[in-house]
Structure 1
Amino acid sequence: MARPLQSDGGEEVVGSKGVIKKVEFVRIIAKALYSLGYRRSGAHLEEESGIPLHSSIINVFMRQVLEGDWDESVATLHNIGLTDEMIIKSASFLILEQKFFEFLNEEKVMDALKTLRTEISPLCINHGRVRELSLSIVSPSHCFTVRSPKQDTSRARSRTKLLEELQKLLPPTVMIPERRLEHLVEQALGLQRDACMFHNSLDEEISLFADHQCARDQIPSYALQVRFYFGNQIL
C-alpha cells in the first residue's frame, strides 16, 4: 500500500492522487474481511491500524439489536447523532416491528398489542404497514402473509436480517454498506471495460492484476471464409 500522505484538509490519504482517505480505506477493507468470513484478520486490522470499523456506540447498538434489547436499541439509536428525523423513525419502526413479531411468536398478544399502540403507531409512518400489523393480531393466520422476508422463523437469523435492513437505512458513514469494496472494484472494472476502445473479451477474462485494455489485434481484421451466392444457393 502507498505511504500515507497528508491531505489539504488534514486527513491522512493513500494513493498517488490524494483522494482516498486512509480511515475510510481501512474501514472498508476491514468490512470486506469480516464479510468474507476472515473475522480474526478483520479484528487484527482494526487493532493494528487503530481504526475501528464502527464507533463504540454503533457496536453497542448492533449488540442490542442482536440480543433483542429493543427498548435499549431504540434509545441508543437516538443517541447515535443522526440528524434526519425520518431515518430515526424508519429505523425505530423496523426495530419495534421485530419486537412486535417476537411477542406474537411467544403468544404474548397483549404485549404485541401494547407495542403496536404505544410505540409503533405514534411514529406516524408506514400507515398501511401498521394496519397489516393490526390484522395479524386479529387473525393469527394473517401474520405469516404480513411478515417481510427479513422476519425469519429463526430468531437469530431474523435479528441478523433486521441488522442488515438497518444497515441499508443508516448513513454509510455510520454503518458501511455490505459488499462496499466489491461494489467499488466492480465499478472500476466496468469503467475500464467501457473505456476499452477495442473491447472484445468476456467479463470473466478481466483481471484485477492489471488495467483492462484489449489489443487492436483482438479485433477481427481479415476474412476467414468467403461465401458466394448464386440464386438460392450458397457456394
Structure 2
Amino acid sequence: MTEQCNTTNQNLNITMEDIQLTTTPPSKLQTIDRRKNFVNRNDLVRLIVQALYTLDYKESADLLEKESGIDYLSKDILQLKNCILKGDWNQSLNIIDQTLNNSNCKNINAVKYYILEEKYMEQLCDRNAEKALITLREEITPLVVSIPTQNNYTSTVTNNSTITVHNLQQLASYLVCTNIEDLKNLSKWKSIEGGSRNELLEQIQKLISPSLIIPENKLEQLLLTAVENQKRDSMSDEDIDENDMDESEDGVVLLSKKFSINEETSIRKIPNKILLTLEDHGDEVWICKFSNNGQLLATSSIDHCINIYSVEEVLSIEKTSPKFKLLSSGNVVSLCFSPDDKDLLAATCDGNVHIWNIVSGEQRACLKNFSNIVAAFWNESGNQFITISSEKSSQISVWEKDSVTITKSFKIDTRIQDASLLKDNLIIVATHERQLLCYNLEEKKLVEKMSEDYLITSLCSSKTGRFVLVSFCSEDEDEPALIHLWDLREKKIISTFEGLWSLKYVMRPIFMGRDLVSCGSEDCKIYIWNKSTGELIETLTGHSGVVNSVDYNVKFGLIASASDDTTVKIWRD
C-alpha cells in the first residue's frame, strides 16, 4: 500500500505548464469519441423529434429542434406534405422536381405517378370526368417508366415495375362508375375523408430517401429490432423462445436485464486448431455427430462401421479407440442420437433403418426394405422416430420407438431431397422442385410452403425450429455453392453464406451455437461464417479429401470433421 501511495505522489509532481501542453481539449475528445462510438448526430436528433411528435409531445419536439438547430423536416419536404394534404397537386409536383432532382433520387417518376393517381381519383370523386381524363392522358400516360411495386389500392403497377396499357385501361375503367360508392368499391380507394391523402404520404415516403423523409415510427422500429437482436445475442439458440419478448400493456419493455449482453460470453472462440486425428475407419467417412449432452461422438463410414467414442476419453488422448463399433447393412446416410442419448438411429442407402442401444451397444431393431430412404430422425420427446423415403413420390412414416410399429403414414406426390424436425408434429422437407414444405404430422397436411431459386440438397433446423439452413449444389463448376438461412417465423431469407464448393456431393451445414454457421466443402476445407451477417470469418485446412460432415460440441467447444481421406479430425481453439 505504501509503495502505491508513493507512486501516486510522484505522478502528481508535475507543473501546470505540463498540463497545458499534454491535455486534449474536451471538445476534441468528444468529437473523436462520437465518430467512433456514436450514431450520426443529425439523424439521431431527427429520429427523436419524430418520436416526440408521434407521442404528441409537440412542445418538447419544437424545443429540441430549436435548441439543436436541426430541422426534423426540411422546408421543402414540409411544404410538400402540406401541399399533398391540401390537394395542391401542381405545387407538389414542382417541389418534387426541385427537391428530389437535387438529391439524385431515382424514384422521381414513381412519386409523381402516385401523386397524379390521387389527383385523378379525387377528380372522379368530384364528378369531374373531363379533368380526370386530361390528367390521365396528359400527365399519367407519359410516365411510362420503371416504378417500384407498391401494394396500393389500385394495383396499377405490374410485376415488371412499369406502367403498361393495361394499367392505364384499369384507371380509365373508373370513368364509367355511376356513383361514388361504385368507384370506391372498384378501386379500393379510401377517399379524402377515409385518409387517402395520408396513405399517399406513406406511399411516397417509401420511395424518398430517409435523409429527406424519415419513415413513420422509425425510432420505434429500430428499438424493437435492437431488442430482438439483443435477445438473440444474449441467449443460446436452444434457450430462445420465439415468442419470448418482455411485454406489458404499455408495449415491449426496452430496459430489461433479461436480455443483457455479456461481452465476455458473446464472443465465441472458434475451434481452429487440430487437437487430434481419429484413424479408425478403413474408407471414406461420411458423417460425424456429437450426442446431445456432448459426451459421445458417432462417426460412420462406407466401410459399414459406426464408431462410438467417449469425448472425455478422446480429449485425454489416453484412449482414442472407439467405445463401440457398430456394423450397419450399408452406407449410412442419416445418423441421429435420441434426445436422452441412449439410442442411435441410422438409415442406410440400401433401404434399412437400424436402432442401437448406446449404453449396451446392442441393436434394438433393424427395419428393412425401404425405398431410397433420405432421412430418419427422432421426435422431441424421443418416444417416436420419423422416416422419409423418396423416389418420384415420397412416404413419411411416424414410428413408435418401443413397439417399432407405424402409427401414422402418408404420401406426398413429390420427390423429397431432405427433411428436418422443427418441433413436435411439425417437419420441413426440401423437394426436387426447389420448394420448402412444412407438414403437420398429426394432421398429415401441408401448413406452409416457400420457394427457392436453386436445387436444394440438404436442410438443418435450429433447436427451436425457427431457423433452417438450406444448402445447394454449385450450378457452375466455376462458381461456389450457397447456403441460405431462413427465418421461418418471418418466412424470409435473413443471411446467405458463400465460399464452399459442392459440385458432386451433398454438403450439410450446421449451427455452431447462437452466432456461427459451419460447413464442410469439396475443396477439403471447413468454412465458418457469422450467422447474422453471412461474413466468412474462418477457413480451416488440414484434410486431404472432401469434408463431408462437421459437427459442433457446445459443451467442450469442439468441432469434429469427417472426410473422404478416411479420418475424423477434432478441432479446438
Q: Which TM bucket (shorter chain)? A: 0.7 to 0.9
Aligned to 2:141, what secondary structure does the other structure show? helix
Question: How far 1:76 moved relative to its partner?
Answer: 0.6
Assess, with a 3 A threshold, how the Cα gap between structure 1 residues 209 and 133 changes in structure 2: closer, same or farther. same
- Contact 2:111–2:204 at 8 Å: present in 1 too? yes
Alignment match, 1:94: 114
Alignment match, 1:224: none
Aligned to 1:123, what secondary structure does the other structure show? coil
Assess, with a 3 A threshold, how the Cα gap between structure 1 residues 59 and 213 changes in structure 2: closer, same or farther. closer
Alignment match, 1:120: 140
CA deviation profile, 1:118-150 (whole Å, cap 9, x unmatched): 0001111422432211111134466334434xx
The equivalent position to 2:98 in structure 1, one of 65, 68, 79, is: 79
CA deviation profile, 1:81-135 (whole Å, cap 9, x unmatched): 24244x1111001111111111111100000000000000111142243221111
- Contact 2:230–2:261 at 8 Å: present in 1 too? no
Assess, with a 3 A threshold, how the Cα gap between structure 1 residues 194 and 95 changes in structure 2: closer, same or farther. same
Structure 1: stretches of 5+ with no match in the other structure = 216-230
Assess, with a 3 A threshold, how the Cα gap between structure 1 residues 43 and 204 changes in structure 2: closer, same or farther. same
| Identity value in percent | 30
Which of the two has greater strand per residue? 2
Alignment match, 1:109: 129
> What TM-score does the superposition give when structure 1 sets the normalisation length?
0.77
Q: Distance in 2 between matches of 1:75 and 1:82?
A: 14
1:67 maps to a residue whose letter is K
- Contact 1:32–1:179 at 8 Å: present in 2 too? yes
Alignment match, 2:83: 64
1:75 maps to a residue whose letter is N
Alignment match, 1:222: none
Aligned to 1:170, what secondary structure does the other structure show? coil
Q: Distance in 2 between matches of 1:214 and 1:23?
A: 28
Q: Distance in 2 between matches of 1:35 and 1:129?
A: 36
Q: Distance in 1 between matches of 2:53 and 2:167?
A: 34
Structure 2: stretches of 5+ with no match in the other structure = 1-26, 146-162, 263-401, 403-573
Considering Cα pairs closer than 8 Å and 6+ residues apart, tell me whether 1 or 2 has the greater RCO: 1
Q: Distance in 2 between matches of 1:147 and 1:39?
A: 36
- Contact 1:132–1:146 at 8 Å: present in 2 too? no
Q: Distance in 2 between matches of 1:138 and 1:171?
A: 37
Q: Which has the larger radius of gyration?
A: 2
Assess, with a 3 A threshold, how the Cα gap between structure 1 residues 191 and 155 changes in structure 2: closer, same or farther. same
> What TM-score does the superposition give when structure 2 sets the normalisation length?
0.33
Alignment match, 1:41: 60
Q: Distance in 1 between matches of 2:94 and 2:208?
A: 15
1:27 matches 2:46: yes
- Contact 1:82–1:88 at 8 Å: present in 2 too? no
- Contact 1:66–1:156 at 8 Å: present in 2 too? no
Alignment match, 1:183: 221
2:222 maps to a residue whose letter is L
1:208 matches 2:254: yes
Of 178-187 and 36-45, deviating more is 36-45
Which contiguous aligned blocks of 4+ residues in structure 1 show a shift greater than 6 angstroms?
Answer: none
Alignment match, 1:147: 187
